[in-house]
Amino acid sequence: MNPYNYLYVSGLLFTIGAVGVVVRRNAIVVFMCVELMLNAANLTLVTFSRINGTLDGQVVAFFTMVVAACEVVVGLAIIVTIYRSRRSASIDDASLLKR
Amino acid sequence: MTTSTSLVYLIALPLLGATVLLLAGRRSDKWGHLLATALSASSFGVGLYQLSQMLARPTEERAVTQKLFSWINVGTFNVDAGLLLDQLSICFVLLITGVGTLIHIYSISYMSHDENRRRFFAYLNLFIAAMLLLVLGDSYLNLYVGWEGVGLASYLLIGFWNQKPAYATASKKAFVMNRVGDMGLSFAIMIAFATLGTVSFSGVEEASHTASKAALTAIGIMLLVAATGKSAQFPLQAWLGDAMAGPTPVSALIHAATMVTAGVYLIVRSNFIFDAAPTAQLLVVIVGAITLTFGALVGTAKDDIKKALAASTMSQIGYMILGAGLGPAGYAFAIMHLLTHGFFKAGMFLGAGSVMHGMNDQVDMRRYGALRKFMPITFATFGLGYLAIIGVPPFAGFYSKDAIIETAFNAGGVKGILLGSTALLGAAITAFYMTRVMVLTFTSKQRWEDNQHPHESPLLMWAPMAILAVGSVTTGFLFTRGDALVHWLSPVVGEHAEGENLLLQPIVVSGLALLAVAIGVAIAIMKYQLSEVDAIAPHDVSVFTRIARKDLLQDSFNEAVFMRPGQALTSLLVKGDQNVVDGAVRGIGRTALGAGSVLRKTQTGFARSYAALILIGAIVLIAGIWVVTQ
């Protein structure tokens, strides 16, 4: 199978993720879209690893997964805290910094 | 050259007094004046000791030097802080410390009611120290330190009663006008260093034989500017009249006997420069001739006794500058007139102070009159000074002033006739205005109110006046006995050159001078003794009197030519500063603020718009890289 098809899938995933981050208001969904983009990147790394026949890309993909796991912990904690304090998970409600 | 280790005590003693009195503050109020007087007197003692040492040595070894420390030592520029006591400076040392001590003694009583008397004595001691440094410095740079020191002391003492705004202004005026002259001296020093490579008197004298005439002329003119500032000569004369705001002993010591004669000292000390630069020398005599007439004319119109005496000082220093400008023939006579003037003018100022003391600080001579009966000693001492200044033989002024007039007449050609006639005219006017002072104060009818109680001053005040009066009588005779002073000074100022064919014989000049004096005295007596004098200065006077009362418009001239354009320039600079410099600074601030308020709008606080911006940025970046690498 043509390995480039994986790249197309990865590009598609990344675009869906990016659009989701920009257009969705729910913090959980935005968060999921961020994860989608990370996974798109992981897929790219693995694909190129396969194309080039080296293991570098796959090693980096493991790093990404670890970092993403940490990020999930911190991010979810923030979202829960925000929800507790303002009874809303809308990302637009948390815009206090502009003032 | 003989060296000595005791010269420094001349300066150190009064300087110690000033330091102690200023640092000890009010704690020394009780004994400060005594300490200051004692230190001034001991400095005089050191001066006398030095004179005795000097007399014991042969003529060519009389000058002594003392190197204190190496002051500036940069490359080829070496200046030692050194002192030089020669036949010229010893005259000044004895005048400064002698007259200075007498005036200290006088001030003990004169200032006894002033709660700041201790501070006054500290300043007096500071002045003595600075003035001694001025005359003892062995280079122009050392002289300059003393020159600035006396300027400072003069400023502090003129403004001693600075609680009165007019007095504070007077001290500032004196200080600022002196700065103009001081600038001349600093220029002279700089030119001397740039062209001759040295600033010591001996070095400059040596270099002056080979130096270019242009450089020497430039130095000479700058020295003359310095002298006009310090000695209140035309065109920097306007400060001296206002300087009378200071206490009278200050007027006597600083603004009559010593500091204002520093310009004469400077010119006589720099004789080698002026002898080699005839243009500068010609300017010196012109300045002297103008000032001696100028001061005399101002003196005729002043009703304030101190201001009349100040105008007279200006005029008499004009004589000295004239004498100093006449070259080797006149240097010694300039110094002689300086010394005799130091005695009689200081004595007269102290007399004026004594009159003010007895008249509740009244200074208007139109409110005096008939004081002879009430102040016999003041009358006698002032009278002797008066006879000396108008030049009646055998009083001191006759010898010294006559010598200058005679030298002026014999300066040769049209110049000699012009200078001689000016000096003669000045003598007549001097006789007129001094007789006016004398008559208005002592002998005319009483014009003061009955609630005044004029009385003679205490012993501490009249004793110095009496000693100075003795000096006014005898010094002229002593100095001219066998040409004593001329021979004494000749190692410093060069051999006295007597002209071969004299225009006028000395006896003729003396006759003419006495005639001029007689005319002046006669007019003054007719006008003030034999006719009624108004107690209030009349207003319906001729335009000449009006101009003379305004000091021949010197202040109006300065205001129109220097002050107003200066103010205009300042306000222009202020405007430029506010609009250009401040404008640029404010503009930068405003630009930053404006840019900030525009850019602020992009910060919406919505995380999604930031994410969109990051996304767009990333796309643009990648697109850019793609375009570039294609």
Residue A74 has pLDDT above 90, yes or no: yes
What is the mean predicted confidence (pLDDT) over B337-341? Answer: 91
Beta bridge partners of B208: none
Provide the 10 A C-beta neighbour count for residue B5: 9
Model pLDDT for residues B488-507, shown as the tens digit of each residue: 888 888 776 665 566 677 78
CA angle B218–B220–B225, rounded 5-degree value: 95
CA distances, A28 to each of A86, A88, B344, B501 (Å): 15, 11, 108, 123
Report the C-alpha gap between B228 and B235 in whole angstroms.
Answer: 7
Report the C-alpha gap between B427 and B402 in whole angstroms.
Answer: 9
Q: Are B33 and B108 in contact (CB under 8 A)?
A: yes
Phi-psi region of B188 (alpha: psi -120 to 50; beta: other; left: phi over 0): alpha
AA identity, residue B96: I
Q: How many domains does chain A have?
A: 1
pLDDT of the residue at B499: 58
String of DSSP letters for B290-306: HHHHHHHHHHHH--BHH
Report the C-alpha gap between B217 and B235 in whole angstroms.
Answer: 19
**Considering the domain boundaries, does residue A10 fall inside one?**
yes
Q: If DSSP codes are grouped into helix, strand and coil, which group holds residue B330?
A: coil
Residue B1 has pLDDT above 70, yes or no: no
Q: Which of B430, B388, B422, B423 has its CA nearest to residue B404?
A: B423
CB contact under 8 A, B608 and A96: no
Provide the 10 A C-beta neighbour count for residue A59: 12
Question: What percentage of chain B carries pLDDT values higher than 70?
Answer: 99
Report the C-alpha gap between B58 and B71 in whole angstroms.
Answer: 31
Considering CB atoms only, which of B605, B611, B615 is closest to A96?
Answer: B605
Best A15, A21, A22 residue to mutate vs chain B (most B CBs within 10 Å): A22
Decide if B614 touches A, using CB distance below 8 A: no
CB contact under 8 A, B615 and A91: no
Search chain B and give the residue with CA nearest A21: B608
Q: Which of B510, B344, B513 has its CA nearest to residue B428?
A: B513
**Considering the domain boundaries, does residue A63 fall inside one?**
yes
CB-neighbour burial class of residue B425 (10 A; exposed 0-12, middle 13-18, buried 19+): middle
ipTM: 0.85
What is the mean predicted confidence (pLDDT) over B528-540? Answer: 77
- And the tokens for B538? 């009349």
pLDDT of the residue at B286: 92
What is the mean predicted confidence (pLDDT) over B174-178? Answer: 90
Question: Starting at the edge strand that comes first in sequence, how are the strands of the sheet with B64-74 ordered?
Answer: B2-3, B64-74, B77-85
Residue B510 has pLDDT above 80, yes or no: yes
CA distances, B549 to each of A36, B412, B432, B544, B553 (Å): 102, 35, 16, 9, 9
Model pLDDT for residues B432-483, shown as the tens digit of each residue: 999 998 988 888 888 888 777 888 888 888 899 999 999 888 888 888 887 8
- The residue ranges of DSSP E strands in chain A, in sequence order, are none
Least confident of A62-76, B271-285, B317-331, B532-546: B532-546
Residue recorded with tokens 């500071």? B126
Question: What range defines the domain where residue A22 resides?
Answer: 4-90
| Per-chain mean pLDDT for chain B | 88
What is the mean predicted confidence (pLDDT) over B510-529? Answer: 88
Report the C-alpha gap between B95 and B489 in whole angstroms.
Answer: 15
What is the mean predicted confidence (pLDDT) over B71-92? Answer: 85
pLDDT of the residue at B500: 57
Residue B186 CA to its chain's centroid (Å): 16
**Considering the domain boundaries, does residue A49 fall inside one?**
yes
Report the C-alpha gap between B397 and B391 in whole angstroms.
Answer: 5
Helix (H) or strand (E) holding B74: strand B64-74
For chain B, the maximum distance between any two Cα atoms, rounded to a whole number of angstroms, is: 119
Cβ-based contacts of B604 with chain A (< 8 Å):
95, 98
What is the mean predicted confidence (pLDDT) over B557-577? Answer: 89
Considering CB atoms only, which of A18, A23, A92 is closest to B606?
Answer: A92
Interface size A-B, in CB pairs within 8 Å, comes to: 31
Best B597, B599, B606 residue to mutate vs chain A (most A CBs within 10 Å): B606
Residues 45-84 of A with CB under 8 A from B: none
Phi-psi region of B24 (alpha: psi -120 to 50; beta: other; left: phi over 0): alpha
What is the mean predicted confidence (pLDDT) over B52-75? Answer: 84
**Residue bearing the bigger pLDDT, A47 or B6:** A47
CB contact under 8 A, B608 and A95: no
What is the mean predicted confidence (pLDDT) over B107-111? Answer: 89
pLDDT of the residue at B37: 92
- And the tokens for B81? 């802080």
Report the C-alpha gap between B460 and B105 in whole angstroms.
Answer: 6
State the sign of the Cα–Cα–Cα–Cα dihedral B54, B56, B60, B66: negative
Model pLDDT for residues A40-68, shown as the tens digit of each residue: 999 999 999 999 989 999 999 999 999 99
pLDDT of the residue at A77: 94
Residue B627 has pLDDT above 60, yes or no: yes
How many residues are given for chain A? 99
For residue A64, the domain's CATH number is 1.10.287.3510
**Considering the domain boundaries, does residue A96 fall inside one?**
no
What is the mean predicted confidence (pLDDT) over B339-347? Answer: 91
Provide the 10 A C-beta neighbour count for residue A12: 11
**Considering the domain boundaries, does residue A80 fall inside one?**
yes
Report the C-alpha gap between B341 and B331 in whole angstroms.
Answer: 15
Predicted TM-score (pTM) of the model is 0.79
**Packed helices B262-269 and B484-493: angle between N→C axes, nearest 10 degrees:** 60
Q: If DSSP codes are grouped into helix, strand and coil, which group holds residue B86?
A: coil
Decide if B603 touches A, using CB distance below 8 A: yes
**Considering the domain boundaries, does residue A98 fall inside one?**
no
Helix (H) or strand (E) holding B583: helix B582-600
**Residue bearing the bigger pLDDT, B517 or B4:** B517
Helix (H) or strand (E) holding B3: strand B2-3
Q: Which of B354, B366, B375, B382 has its CA nearest to residue B532?
A: B366
Residue B303 CA to its chain's centroid (Å): 23
Q: Which of B122, B92, B90, B89 has its CA nearest to residue B104?
A: B122
AA identity, residue A43: L
String of DSSP letters for B268-290: HHTHHHHHH-HHHHHHHHHHHHH
